[in-house]
Structure formats: C-alpha cells, structure tokens
Amino acid sequence: MVYVNAEKLKHIMLDVLLKLHVNQDSANNLVESITEASLKGIDTHGLALFPHYEEGFRLGRLNKNPDFKIIKNNGSAKVLDADGAVGHHAGRFAMDFCIDMAAKYGTGIVAVKNSSHFGAANFFTEYAAKHNMIGFAYTNTNSLVKAHNAVEPFFGTNPICFSCPIEGEEPFCLDMATSVISWNYVRNHKVTNKKLEDGLAYDENGQFTTDPFKARCVRPIGDYKGFGLGMMVEILCSVLTGSNIGHDLQPMFGSNMSKKRGISHFFQAIDISKFTNVKTFSNNMKALCETIRNLKPLEGKTVMVPGDPEKFAMAKRKKEGIPIEENVWKEFLAITEEFGNALISK
C-alpha cells in the first residue's frame, strides 16, 4: 500500500488529462469527483479508476470535448444528450440545471442520455445540498446484479443517492447501490487476490461464490426488494429517456474501449425554501441526526447516520493521505512517473 497527497495527485491528474486535450470542465469534474470519493473512503469509485478513465479518453470511449444538448425542455423538466461525455461532467452540468429550475419552480429534474460512468453519486447530490437543496441522483449501468429467482443478472448496481444540508457539518448523504456490493469491490479483490465474504456474489450457475475470479454477478440488497429498486432506477434512467437498458450496455471493463457505452442518469433538486425556512430545516436535520447518534450503542459499536463513515474517513485521510494498492499505483506510474511526486513517506 502506498499513500498519496490528494492535492498533489489532483494537479498531476489534471495535467495528464489536459495534455490529452480533454475539455477543462470534464477534467476538473472527473478529478474532483474521484479524489473526493477516495478521501471519503469510497475507494471503489475513487482514484483507482483514474487509469481506466485516462484510457477511455485516449481510445475514444469518452468524448474529450462533448457538445451537450438539451433535447427536451419543459419547464422544470429537461432531457440532456451528454454526447459521450465522462459522467462526472455530464452529471454536474445536469445538476446545475436542476438547481436553477428548483429555485424558480420548487423542483428541477434532468434526465441524461448518452453518458458514461459517473463515479460516486454523492458528488452531485451533496453539490445540490450545498445550494440549500435536497438532491437526488440515479444511474443505470450494465447487468451486474442477479435477477430475483434467476440464474443470471439483468439490472446493474443502479444506485440511489439522496442528500440535504445539516447545520454545522457536511451534508447528510444516503448513497447506496441496489446491490450489497459494487462490482469494483469484486475487481479490487481480484487485484489483491483476496476471497470475498460469503453471500455477496454468484458464479455462472447462480450459486454463491467467495472466489472473485468466478464471480459473474452480485447480490441485490433485500433480495427481491433490491431487485425492485434497481428496476425503479432503470425506468427513471433508461426507459424515460429512450436509452439502452442496463442489460444491453457493454461492460465498463473488458469491453471495447473505443466504443461509447450510452449510460443514462436521472437527477433532481428540490428547493427547501419553497417548503420551509432553510435554517430551520438544517437545524432540525442536526437534531434528528444527533438524536440517532446518541442512541445507546451495542458494545464496541458506534451509532451513526448515513454519511458518517465517509466524514470520519475524510478527516483521517486529509491528515494521513489516501491509500492506494500497489498494483493500482503501478498503473498510475505507467501513465507518467510524475505521479511519484504525490507520494507520502510513511
């Protein structure tokens, strides 16, 4: 394991992307998102993915200079064609529209088509929360989650994310896949050659496996309930926009990196001030969270609300650096030896 300084690494990643002639906004949003994810301990959607995105820009999967187009515009609802952009840029662009529409109408919704992987969903919802909004974000992806009572997968990990402001701290954030683990969790276990915990992934016969190399799909949360939530997300993202459903999308890894994936997203912002005083809402959120945090804990446990583990991780990693697996770090150095300047001596 190596440890890196977040700010130094950000500058080098930006330099790498700009030398590839990637649009400044695309580069900024991508780097900001994956760095923030790793600072929060969301390593599956963080820095470890940078070599993959860099390859996507080089080989054509990701559009270096996307031409965003609003193809449906109806008051507080829009449809955005992302033109093959990196999802981190398309999502922020869409959420800006959501925030502007919510300030005018009370809510704003943007459905996005022709996009790509957008990283950690909280990057968009917490952005809305910092504008005194309630933010929602959803995305579809390729088939990775076993369909209920079926042998094979059908929907992707299709996350649900919700954020809102809390007085005196970073926004409240519920960011959850509709599967018990992400596919990148399986990939990370392949890299480190570690077994998976039992009950997380299935082999090609639809049977549980702890071998990450035999895993073909992962388990939905709450079994049929998670399957249903994944379907809800699919409907909002792909069916609503007329895009390919997850079952028809090419995989993020191991597929042709010169071809666009056509992922779709769904974003919403709600203006709190249209319902109540923002300060009152923020204070009530603080009281709610503190009441839960002060519940009597089980021995050796800490009672937390969604988002607390990420807040603890960020405080620690800002001081100690972000850990990166040795195998992943080699991929960084293969791009440029300049990344070595971001290392922290331990």
Per residue in 260-280, pLDDT tens?
999 999 999 999 999 999 999
Q: Which residue(s) pair with 163 in the sheet?
A: 135, 173
Question: What's the whole-model pTM score?
Answer: 0.95
Query: What average pLDDT does the chain have?
Result: 96
Amino acid identity for residue 290 in this structure: E
CA angle, corner 238, sides to 267 and 199, nearest 5? 90
Burial 253-289 (b: 16+ CB within 10 A, else e): eeeebeebbbbbbbbbbbbbeeeeeeeebbeebbeeb
Band of pLDDT at residue 346, cut at 50, 70 and 90: low
Band of pLDDT at residue 188, cut at 50, 70 and 90: confident
Amino acid identity for residue 221 in this structure: I
Segment among 188-192, 248-252, 317-321 with least mean pLDDT: 188-192
Q: Are the C-beta atoms of 247 and 221 separated by less than 8 Å?
A: no
**pLDDT on residue 33:** 98
Mean pLDDT confidence for 217-246: 97
Length of the chain: 346
3-state secondary structure of 112: strand
- Cα gap 309→167, rounded to integer Å: 18
Handedness of CA 312, 314, 318, 324 (dihedral sign): positive
- Cα gap 62→55, rounded to integer Å: 9
First vs last Cα of the chain: how many Å apart?
10
Identify the structural domains of the chain with CATH numbers, from first to last: 2-179+220-278+307-342 (3.30.1370.60)
Mean pLDDT confidence for 200-220: 96
pLDDT in tens, 19-31: 999 999 999 999 9
Residue from 345, 284, 290, 340 nearest 8 by CA: 340
- Judging by beta carbons within 10 Å of its beta carbon (0-12, 13-18, 19+), is residue 248 exposed, middle or buried? exposed
For residue 241, give the H/E element and its range: helix 240-241
**pLDDT on residue 142:** 96
Residue 216 has pLDDT above 90, yes or no: yes
Please report how many Cα atoms fall inside a 13 Å half-sphere around the Cα of residue 299, on the Cβ side. Answer: 0
3-state secondary structure of 312: helix
For residue 290, give the H/E element and its range: helix 278-293
- Cα gap 45→34, rounded to integer Å: 6
Share of the chain above pLDDT 90, in %: 95
Amino acid identity for residue 259 in this structure: K
**pLDDT on residue 93:** 98
Amino acid identity for residue 252 in this structure: M
- CA gyration radius, the chain: 20
Mean pLDDT confidence for 180-200: 90
Residue from 75, 83, 91, 74 nearest 29 by CA: 91
CA angle, corner 317, sides to 315 and 198, nearest 5? 105
Band of pLDDT at residue 145, cut at 50, 70 and 90: very high
β-strands 160-166, 169-176 pairing: antiparallel
Q: Are the C-beta atoms of 201 and 217 separated by less than 8 Å?
A: yes
Residue the block writes with tokens 């930006």: 14
Residue 88 has pLDDT above 90, yes or no: yes
- Cα gap 17→10, rounded to integer Å: 11
Residue 345 has pLDDT above 80, yes or no: no
Distance of CA 146 to CAs 142, 156, 218, Å? Answer: 12, 9, 6
Residue 203 has pLDDT above 90, yes or no: yes
pLDDT in tens, 69-80: 999 999 999 999
**pLDDT on residue 275:** 98
Mean pLDDT confidence for 51-60: 98
Residue from 98, 104, 119 nearest 161 by CA: 119
pLDDT in tens, 294-307: 999 999 999 999 99
